[in-house]
A and B are shown apart, each in its own frame.
Chain A
Amino acid sequence: MLSVDQPYEIVIGLEVHVQLRTTTKLFCRCATQFGAPPNTNVCPVCLGMPGALPVINEHAVQLALQTGLALGSTIPPMTKWDRKQYFYPDLPKGYQISQFDLPICDGGHLTIADPADESQTRTIRLIRAHLEEDAGKSMHDEANGRADSRIDLNRCGTPLLEIVSQPDMRSAAEAKAFLTELKLLLTYLDVSDCEMQEGSLRVDANVNLKIEKAGDTIATPIVEIKNMNSFRAVERAIAHEAQRQYHEWEETGLTIKDRTKRTFGWDDAAERTVPQREKEEAADYRYLPDPDLLPICLSVETVEATRVALAEFPAVARQRLQSDYEIKAYDADVIVNQGRGVVEYFEAVAKGSGDARRASSWIQQDVLRTMKEQGKGIADFAVSADTLAELLGQVSAGKLDNARARDVFQHLLEKRGSVAEAIKALGIESVDAGEIESLCQELLDANPQVVEDVRGGKMQAIGSLIGQAKKKNPNVNPKQFREICLQLIQSAG
């Protein structure tokens, strides 16, 4: 993606830490619940008290396995636990139990829409995904010249799956597309709630540039931007870091060969990446196999049974909605990207109303808009799929026009209840053909110019009468009104 504005290519690899949706921690039975008072969801095991020993939470292993299978990873027959040693105040054991050389998921890939050309896809390869325990949280209070640090160890031992990509992404938009699709997949699988504001999904980005100069390709030193917890932050941090690296290279000329990887943070307020304290020496984690935990051997039967039981992936859902419901790729995409709840809602409405396209268009416009306005999820949506299906069924059958259907929908949103109740409450009655005919005649008589225009071929002239007709009788079906008017003009002609 070289251009005059951007005389370089960005190379991005992501490390995504996903909190798995278990009720208890990875190596003890403490709750993983977010927002508990500090240091209340803790026990000797997650506090690293002398003598305490870890015991694996098998649910976490199962969720990691599901994720790996969905990402096309190879699941090795044996996976083990290692200790990663470093001193940090929110790491009570002085080591983190993680996986070093035998991760639970090896390789894999994720296919995303190419942000530069939506009709194309890009496949981002994965290196691995491994399980590990989270550390605690340090809170630094440096107000009033004091330097208090408080440590909350509630998060210690929370199960994380770290998904590591190859450096296959070439723009901030691609990184964002990767994260969006990954989050969608994880929520489809129900392996994580991906609540980024609660830290359930955190991202580190490894970024450097390839600069073309005089027929040579120069790579800039790699920077790891740590711990971003919004997609917007990731996108902006990468964009900023690319600029920063380019300017730095212009100034210093340093390449990847001259400098080891550095760690930066993202300052959201200042909108810039900032270097974090450089380590005096390269980190030496002194990995060793954790002697307190046995290796996990996953049988072929377990892996296959998990594969068979996997929930539908978003990519599969997109294809299926197109073929089963004959809706456009774009529409399928919008629905699927809203998550599994919206897909299920759509399918119920499509089947119940017998009109998938109408269901698709109503959901994309009315339902999603309302959800956004109300800030609610589909699970809390006031109009159930069955109710909406009934309403749209009546529209398709010609019993209600779209405008009246929207009135009913609005009524249902506010008052709930059934479609029949809403119709009754709004005073909607079906108008018989004779009544409409006399109304048509009356208006045509009063508007000879319209009759003239229609005869001259300007069919849309009737539109101006529809408004008047609705004023006189709100229950008039505009489509029916229009047809009868045309018949009257023709027969009079």
Chain B
Amino acid sequence: MTIPLDSAAKLLGLLASGELTARQATQASLDRIAATDPEVGAFTFVNTEAALAAADSIDQRRRDGQPLGALAGVPIAVKDVLCTTDMPTTCSSRMLEKHMSPYDATVVARLRAADAVIVGKTNMDEFAMGASTETSAFGKTTNPWNPSLTPGGSSGGAAACVAAGDVPLSLGSDTGGSIRQPAAFCGITGLKPTYGRVSRYGLIAFASSLDQVGPMAFDAVDCATLLNAIAGVDASDSTSLPVETPDFTAGLDRIEGELRIGIVKHHLEAEGLDPEVRQAVDDAIEVFRDAGAKIVEVELPHSDYWVPTYYVIAPSEASSNLSRYDGAHYGHRSPVAASEAGDRGPLVATYCRSRGEAFGAEVKRRIMIGMYALSAGYGDKYYVKALQVRRLIRQDFDSAFQNVDLLLGPVTPTPPFAMGEKIDDPLQMYLCDLFTVGANLAGIPALSMPGGLTSNNLPIGIQLQAPPLQEAKLLQAAAAFQRATDWHTKRPL
């Protein structure tokens, strides 16, 4: 029997009917990883024995007739930004190369409670800073569609391992587009939930007010199943929202009521928007129009400020969040520092050396930007101003959503780009977030789904955005689109 590692729904059916054991599913996933990962490099750690043991325990409990969680026996990969007690948690940084977290992130604990089988941790841009997974300290991840291309970032490993058929599900994190952009580049579906919908406890912080954990899978239905398992208020995260968690898988077979879809003309005419991406967006509009949706033009007047605002707020928070890596308590401590203390004294030498040795260039760059933006005399000019603009951006979305249910547009300005193409040009790299950062600044949910292929057979993503807490609407629309199209079934050759 072919084990369908590209669908959690199918796997769950086979597992429930007894046609497949969790051990078989897990072994198939591990075998597939062994076959693909030497080229793709999606994993920083594969937890073979623990995964098989978990699978065996699930099979045993199923045989004993005990109740099982909603993801029982489904292999899943977790971005290495999420804390796990049984695997290293490195953030793909030398700083945390050997870090074993003493606790599980809330989402990881919820996956375990749902009896998902966590097969490993996935590669990412260092501390989730990047759009290509090239800034990982532990090697690059390649795009399964073409190894000379990047898988996007920072959840590049989480996207690539799904695209490569290693696992049907993975968890990513999205600070400025880090789930949606790699999902678009790898031809899968990814959802950044409303800020606060999913607990951040145990998600190693990049920019706390923007970070959000979310599901990645081939289609909207699987994303909904995974979101069900991880969403919900958490007493350990003050910013998690005290709201009911609906069943996101319910009602995915239809769209309730009239669907009004907003188009931001300004984005479709943006400089640098690739014509093939533009065409895919136009085609997606037609798909929704054919399905009876009303298409409405809306404006987001402050969208030109998204990227600059993001690149003040995110590095500011990052510079603060990353100050805990000082070589004193955990993580990398320079062995050289003590011997060369000099005038600075051993303490300052330890700080400087440890941080200097263990952080990569992009992380250092953002720490410097953040320190500058928060420093005396500049805090008001940059950081406080950015917070004010952020409020206007949120207001833009609020006004737009007065008239429409969802916004539709591109995820990325271009299809997947080549390894090394932008790594030495940070500004070009930052522009990859052009269409995605708005949702993070506003805290709204947003989804990326496959919407076409380029002439070179590369995936193109379509973004849907919704008002706060309207994930169900996003998933409904994406599921409707995926019934009408087959882009999400395309696989790398």
Contacts of A95 in B (CB 8 A): 320, 323
B326–A94 touching, CB < 8 Å:
yes
Residues of A within 8 Å of B201, CB to CB, are: 51-53
Q: How far is the CA of A95 from the CA of B316 in the complex (A)?
A: 13
Q: Which of A48, A51, A282, A288 contacts B202 (CB 8 A)?
A: A51
Stretch at the interface among B46-54, B65-73, B94-102, B397-405: B94-102
Q: Which residues of B contact A87 (CB under 8 A)?
A: 323, 326, 351
Choose from A50, A56, A293 the contact partner of B83 (Cβ within 8 Å).
Answer: A50
A266-291: CB near B (< 8 Å → 1, else 0) gives 00000000000000001010111001
Contact residues in B for A151 (Cβ distance below 8 Å): 328
Of A85, A286, A292, the residue contacting B238 (CB under 8 A) is A292
Interface contact A294-B239, CB-CB below 8 Å: yes
Q: Are A55 and B83 in contact (CB under 8 A)?
A: no
A411 at the interface (CB under 8 A from B): no
Contact status of A288 and B317, CB under 8 A, knowing A51-B201, A51-B204, A55-B235: yes
Neighbouring B residues of A89 by C-beta, 8 Å: 326, 328, 347
A47 to B103, CA, bound (A): 13
- What residues of B have a CB within 8 angstroms of the CB of A147 in the complex? 346
Do the beta carbons of B374 and A291 come within 8 Å of each other? no
Say whether, besides A51-B202, A56-B238, A89-B347, A286 and B91 are in contact (CB < 8 Å): no
Distance in Å: Cβ of A355 to nearest Cβ of chain B:
56
Contact in complex: A284, B200 (CB < 8 Å) = no
Decide: B205 and A83 in contact? CB cutoff 8 A.
no
Question: A476 vs B325: C-alpha distance in the bound complex, in angstroms?
Answer: 81
Given A50-B89, A286-B379, decide whether A291 and B324 contact each other with a Cβ distance below 8 A.
no
B371 contacts A by Cβ under 8 Å = yes
Binary flags per residue of B27-70, CB closer than 8 Å to A gives 1, else 0 = 00000000000000000000000000000000000000000000
* Cβ B317 vs Cβ A293 within 8 A: no
A294, B238: Cβ atoms closer than 8 Å: yes
> Does A463 interact with chain B (Cβ within 8 Å)?
no
**Shortest distance between the CB of A66 and any CB in chain B (Å):** 23
Contact present for A48 and B238 (CB under 8 Å): no
> Smallest CB-CB separation from B203: which chain A residue?
A51
Residue of B323, B330, B371 ringed by the most chain A CB atoms within 10 A: B323
* A55 and B103 form a contact (CB under 8 A): no
Chain B positions within 8 Å of A53 at CB level: 200-201, 236-239
Give the CA-CA distance A85 to B101 in the complex, in Å: 24
Distance in angstroms from A462 CB to nearest chain B CB is 79
Minimum distance in angstroms from B348 CB to a CB of chain A: 8
- CB of A97, distance to nearest CB on chain B (Å): 11
A354 contacts B by Cβ under 8 Å? no
Residues of A within 8 A of B243 (CB): none
Give every chain A residue within 8 A of B99 (Cβ-Cβ). Answer: 50
B454 contacts chain A at the CB level, 8 A cutoff: no
Over the window 195-222 of chain A, the binary record of Cβ atoms lying under 8 Å from chain B Cβ atoms (1 yes, 0 no) is 0000000000000000000000000000
User: CB-nearest residue of chain B relative to A54?
Assistant: B238
- The smallest beta-carbon distance between A92 and chain B, in angstroms, is 5
- The 0/1 profile, CB within 8 Å of A marked 1, for residues 18-32 of chain B is 000000000000000
Interface size on A, residues (CB 8 A): 30
Within the assembled complex, what's the spacing in Å between the Cα atoms of A56 and B371? 27
- Of A55, A94, A284, A286, the contact of B324 (CB 8 Å cutoff): A94
Question: In the complex, which residues 80-112 of chain B have their Cβ closer than 8 Å to any Cβ of chain A?
Answer: 82-83, 89, 91, 96, 99, 101-103, 105
Residues from chain B with a CB closer than 8 A to the CB of A47 are 329
B280 smallest CB distance to A (angstroms): 35
- Taking the nearest CB of chain A, how far is it from the CB of B350, in angstroms? 9
B103 A44 Cβ-Cβ under 8 A: yes
A93 within 8 A of B: yes
Instruction: Answer whether A50 and B324 are a contact pair too, CB < 8 Å, given A286-B371, A286-B375.
Output: yes
Give chain A residues whose Cβ lies under 8 Å from the Cβ of B209: 291
Q: Which residues 64-96 of A have a CB within 8 angstroms of B?
A: 83, 85, 87, 89, 92-95
- Chain B contributes a number of interface residues (CB within 8 A of A) equal to 46
Interface residues in B219-261 by Cβ distance below 8 A to A read 235-239
Contact B208 A291 (CB under 8 A): yes
C-alpha gap A151/B330 in the complex (Å)? 13
**Across the interface, do B323 and A288 meet the contact criterion of CB distance under 8 Å?**
no
User: Which residue of chain B is the closest to A89 with respect to CB atoms?
Assistant: B328
Q: How far is the CB of B225 from chain A (nearest CB, A)?
A: 25
Q: Whole-angstrom distance from the CB of B194 to the nearest CB of chain A?
A: 16
**Residue B359 is within 8 A (CB to CB) of chain A in the complex:** no
Q: How far is the CA of A286 from the CA of B374 in the complex (A)?
A: 5
Query: Taking the complex as formed, is B138 at the interface, i.e. its CB lies under 8 A from any CB of chain A?
Result: no
The answer on a CB contact under 8 Å between A51 and B330 is no
Residue A49 CB within 8 A of the other chain:
yes
How many Å lie between the Cα of A214 and that of B323 in the bound state?
52
Chain B window 189-220, contacts with chain A (Cβ cutoff 8 Å), 1 for yes, 0 for no: 00000000000111111011100000000000
- Shortest CB-to-CB span from A43 to chain B, Å, is 9
Cα A150 to Cα B204 with chains together (Å)? 27
Pair B83/A51 contact, Cβ less than 8 Å: yes
CA gap between A294 and B195 in the complex, in Å: 13
Query: Any chain A CB within 8 A of the CB of B1?
Result: no
B145 within 8 A of A: no
Task: Determine if B238 and A55 form an interchain contact, defined as CB atoms under 8 angstroms apart.
Answer: yes
Complex interface residues of chain A between 281 and 337 (CB less than 8 A to chain B): 282, 284, 286-288, 291-294
Residues of A close to B235: CB separation below 8 A: 55
Interface residue? B493 (CB, 8 A): no
Cβ-closest chain A residue relative to B327: A89
Decide if B236 touches A48 in the complex (CB within 8 Å): no
Cβ-based interface call for B376 (8 A): yes
* Interface residues as binary, B309-325 with A (CB distance below 8 Å gives 1, 0 otherwise): 00000001101101111
Given known pairs A50-B204, A52-B201, the reply for A292 and B329 (CB within 8 Å) is: no
Considering the chains assembled together, what is the distance between the CA atoms of A86 and B326 in angstroms? 11
Check A93 against B238 for contact (C-beta < 8 Å).
Answer: no
Q: Is the CB of B236 within 8 A of A49?
A: no
Interface flag for B383 (CB, 8 Å):
yes
Name the distance in Å between B376's Cβ and chain A's nearest Cβ. Answer: 5
Per-residue contact bits, chain A 438-458, to B (CB 8 Å; 1 contact, 0 not): 000000000000000000000
Residue in chain A with minimal CB distance to B338: A147
Give A49 to B322 CA distance when docked, in angstroms: 11
A49 touching B101 by the CB < 8 A rule?
yes
What residue of chain A has the Cβ atom nearest to residue B383's Cβ? Answer: A288
Q: Which of chain B's residues have a CB closer than 8 A to the CB of A48?
A: 324, 329
Once the chains are docked, how many angstroms separate the CA of A297 from the CA of B433? Answer: 35
A83 touches B238 (CB 8 A): no
| A-chain residues with CB within 8 Å of residue B331 when the two chains form the complex | 50
Provide the A85-113 mask, 1 if CB < 8 A to any CB of B, else 0.
Answer: 10101001111000000000000000000
Which residue in chain A gives the minimum CB-CB distance to B103?
A44
Quote the shortest CB–CB distance from B434 to chain A (angstroms). Answer: 23
> Which B residues touch A293, using CB under 8 A?
238-239
For the complex, what is the distance from the CA of A83 to the CA of B323, rounded to whole Å? 11
Minimum Cβ distance to chain A for residue B157 (Å): 18
Does B105 lie within 8 Å of A51, measured CB to CB? yes
User: B355 — nearest CB in chain A belongs to which residue?
Assistant: A87
B200–A83 contact, CB under 8 A? no
Nearest residue, chain B, Cβ from A147: B346
The CA-CA distance from A151 to B320 in the complex, in Å, is: 22
Q: Which listed residue, B200, B207, B320, B330, touches A49 by the CB 8 Å rule? A: B330
Assembled-state Cα–Cα distance A89/B322 (Å): 15
Kindly state the separation between the CA atoms of A95 and B83 in the bound complex, as whole angstroms. Answer: 21
Q: Does B375 contact A44, Cβ atoms closer than 8 Å?
A: no
* B326-A284 in contact (CB<8A): no
20 additional contacts, CB 8 Å, given A49-B330, A50-B330? A47-B329, A50-B331, A51-B103, A51-B205, A52-B201, A53-B200, A55-B238, A56-B238, A83-B320, A85-B320, A85-B323, A89-B347, A93-B323, A93-B324, A94-B320, A94-B325, A95-B320, A288-B379, A292-B205, A292-B238
Q: List 11 A-B contacts (CB under 8 A).
A: A50-B96, A51-B83, A51-B103, A52-B201, A85-B374, A87-B323, A89-B326, A92-B324, A94-B323, A94-B325, A291-B207
- 8 closest A-B pairs by beta carbon, nearest first, are A94-B323, A291-B209, A291-B208, A286-B374, A51-B202, A50-B204, A51-B83, A51-B204
